[in-house]
Amino acid sequence: MEAAAAVAWANPSSTHAAGRASRQLLEGAREDVARSIGAAVADVVLTGGGTEACNLGIRGLAAGRARVVTSQVEHPAVAESVRRLGTEGREVIALSVAHGRPPSLDELAPHLGPNTLVAIQWVNHETGTLFPVHEFAEACREHKARLFVDATQALGKVPVDVSALGADAVAIAAQKIGGPAGAGACWVRRGLGLEPVLDGGSQERGRRPGTPDTLSMVGFGAACGLTEERLSQQPRVAELRDRIEARFLGLGGVLNASAPRTGTVSNLSFPGWKGPLLVAALDMEGLCVSTGAACSSGLQEPSAVIRAMYPDEQWRAGSAVRISLGIETTAPDIETASHTFQRVLARGGA
């Protein structure tokens, strides 16, 4: 991005020399993004982040669909898009996720049909639980339903190949793979009409108007170019997650999740503590954790995801803490975090 800054300032839609140079950077980034998900370059719509990509994929595919099927634990970018479709007259069905498990194909299948749009995540953003999206995609094709997949938490953690997946639209985001915030993409199956959610110019083949942030897209493309390296390190990250979970369970924590799941997130509840107070206490010790999605932070409400997963154990949501790990996480980091948790928990909750 630093190297591209001298060129990326120009509007890539301009026909002068500076604009053409910026366009070359933008299209190079698009190629990198497309390559990382097994897509054709022309089918990748660049967006201003994962939230916009989710909105575009869901609302763009909703035309002519009277029913929208989702889950109770979607990221706000998906949940709020679906909620708005409901206010516009669509029937909305939210599949349950009791005891932390994702919805099954048997639960989804009765709601499928030509008038149905399914909007579902690949990996849960608070627990790392994997959803059976390949099974969902096959069933959606069989019943002629449309399928949108939020893969923002999947890219770089599990192999993503949109051509093999069989969905109709897939959203990804740069910041989830080490790229800059504010850059994302929505892959759309060739031949599908996609209603834009913004009004304006004809950029992105008329699917996403507005001048793109070329510099951020360069960073996005560079991060996508490192996806295979990130994937190769996931077993090591999962081993570190297992190690820290064993420590936390020994300190009285209760795991909120179901297998299979990625190794990059651990969600535990600590009886006797309120999640926000525990997060604040850990922050004062230099350890950054959260109570849920950053998009919902500041609300001071128990995690809606954990509340939906464990409706008969509401204390879990109120005391839940999410710990994130990445390829940068080291074994000494795990030791430091474990000791920090031990010191804080020893003070007692409130």
Task: Give the residue numbers marked as catalytic.
Answer: 295
Compute the Cα dihedral for 143, 148, 152, 156 and give only its sign: positive
**Single-letter amino acid, residue 194:** L
Give the SS3 label for residue 7: helix
Q: How far apart are CA 108 and CA 175, in angstroms?
A: 30
User: Are the beta carbons of 29 and 220 closer than 8 angstroms?
Assistant: yes
Which candidate, 25, 56, 3, places its Cα nearest to that of 221?
25
Task: Please state, in angstroms and rounded to a whole number, the distance separating the CA atoms of residues 197 and 204.
Answer: 13
Residue 44 sits at φ, ψ, to 5 deg, of: -100, 120
> How far from 161 is each of 113, 133, 154, 242, 243, CA to CA, in Å?
25, 12, 11, 27, 30
Judging by beta carbons within 10 Å of its beta carbon (0-12, 13-18, 19+), is residue 61 exposed, middle or buried? buried
Helices (H), 132-213: 133-142, 162-165
Provide CB contacts within 8 A for 159, sequence distance 6+: 231
Q: Are the beta carbons of 212 and 165 closer than 8 angstroms?
A: no
Which of 217, 53, 231 is CA-nearest to residue 149? 53
Contact assessment for residue 7 and residue 18, using Cβ atoms and an 8 Å cutoff: yes
